[in-house]
Amino acid sequence: MGKRVALTGLGVITPIGTGKDAFWTGLMEGRSGVRRITAFDPTPYDTQIAGEIPGFDPTQFMDRKEVRRNDRFVQLALAATRLALDDSGFAITPRNADRVGVIIGSGIGGAGTWEEQHRVLLERGPGRVSPFFATMIIVNMASGAVSIAHGAKGPNVSVVSACATGGHAIGDAFRAIQRDEAVAMICGGSEAALTPLSLAGFCSMKAMSTRNDAPERAVRPFEAGRDGFVMGEGAGIVLLEEWEHAERRGARIYAEMAGYGTSADAYHITQPDPEGDGAARAIQLALRDAGVEPRQVGYINAHGTSTPYNDRLETLAIKRVWGDHARSVPISSTKSMTSHLLGAAGGVEAVACALAIERGILPPTINYEVPDPECDLDYIPNTPRRARVDVAMSNAFGFGGHNAILVLRRPA
């Protein structure tokens, strides 16, 4: 079993709000963060909409030198980390630095820097490429930059598992504390891949919504009219602490990080296992790890991408685990509001679960209008629902067949 683990700090930057309270307000209002893309002209693309972060100013969180030397995904990670640490009241000092670690991942990494510096190479020659190019593109630099900024000298690695990245990062950090490798871990995911090339690639896959005339209604998980996911950018970072350490310093504990399950579909590079086997096994492993029965789960934050395959097969996986009780479990996809934050999704959605436990309200799935006969569970349509949640689950699945499940429990 190992050490108990507390979740004591929340840091989020999303298309519907920066900081836990603004983010939560967006969820409770059922507000979509999807708009026509402004970072570049999307007119030539089949999909012209995305979940951009409005008005993000990195200089509010770091000096200008740090901004220039870091890709946007690292800037978002640094900013969300500052929010999480401020929220927790936890101080990293020379006395505890070697017991504080960082695991922050990204599905894609420095996509913006890749494209910008490639243009520099073609237009101005190799001598004008930034000397920071290599350090700006690599995924591990989010963990590295956070460690440097805060003096965290404990375990420091990165996770890359596509859209399961944030879930895996938090789960692996949870394990590090359980094994007494650290007393606290800064963990989660960050993504800033809204670039012309990334958008073109996802458009070519025919996996994204083309509802350009109604951006706010484009993401509609589990609904009959869904036509694909919508890309977004953001970061979700949490602080995990060894339970007794958190109690000794009088920390506010949002939830106990209670269980973690991971598996592989071993089926296809993009499509989920058609039987929902990999996802179901990861769910079962997480529940067993937490020592809870399926019926004890009071809320599932679904992966719910709004793609035809994912939503149907996630529904199937839930049915495989819960059986006849599946229709009694409240489920929602907050991606209906945030859009799909790719490698950051698991971190942001773990924050949503922690706040649902703390505040006794379940976020809705917005844009749910016409039920899909193959997605016939309780998806908390359109409006939040008051409910006491003792156990919440966060699902994250990624291209390549990666599955990561987190179980959070009410503090006791």
> Would the pTM of this model clear 0.95, i.e. be above it?
yes
Q: Which residues of 37-67 are buried (b: 16+ CB within 10 A; e: fewer)?
A: beeeebeebbbbbbbbbeebebeebbeeebb
CA 220 to chain centroid: 18
- The pLDDT of residue 60 is 95
The total number of residues written for the chain in this structure:
412
- Residue-level pLDDT, tens digit, the chain, 412 residues: 689 999 999 999 999 999 999 999 999 999 999 999 999 999 999 999 999 998 899 999 999 999 999 999 999 999 999 999 999 999 999 999 999 999 999 999 999 999 999 999 999 999 999 999 999 999 999 999 999 999 999 999 999 999 999 999 999 999 999 999 999 999 999 999 999 999 999 999 999 999 999 999 999 999 999 999 999 999 999 999 999 999 999 999 999 999 999 999 999 999 888 999 999 999 999 999 999 999 999 999 999 999 999 999 999 999 999 999 999 999 999 999 999 999 999 999 999 999 999 999 999 999 999 999 999 999 999 999 999 999 999 999 999 999 999 999 999 9
- Residues 6 or more apart from 95 whose CB is under 8 A from it? none
- The pLDDT of residue 310 is 96
- The pLDDT of residue 1 is 65
DSSP string, 145-209: HHHHHHT--S-EE----GGGHHHHHHHHHHHHHHTTS-SEEEEEEEE---SHHHHHHHHHHT-B-
Indicate the pairing of strand 35-36 with strand 49-50: antiparallel
Domain 5-248 adopts which CATH fold? Peroxisomal Thiolase; Chain A, domain 1 (3.40.47)
Q: What are the pLDDT digits (tens) for 182-212? A: 999 999 999 999 999 999 999 999 999 999 9
Q: Is 375 marked active-site? A: no
Closest CA to 308 of 245, 192, 410, 221: 221
Equal fold, 5-248 vs 259-409: yes
CB distance 211 to 49 below 8 Å: yes
Annotated catalytic residue, options 163, 187, 203, 353: 163
Domain limits of the chain? 5-248, 259-409
Domain 259-409 adopts which CATH fold? Peroxisomal Thiolase; Chain A, domain 1 (3.40.47)
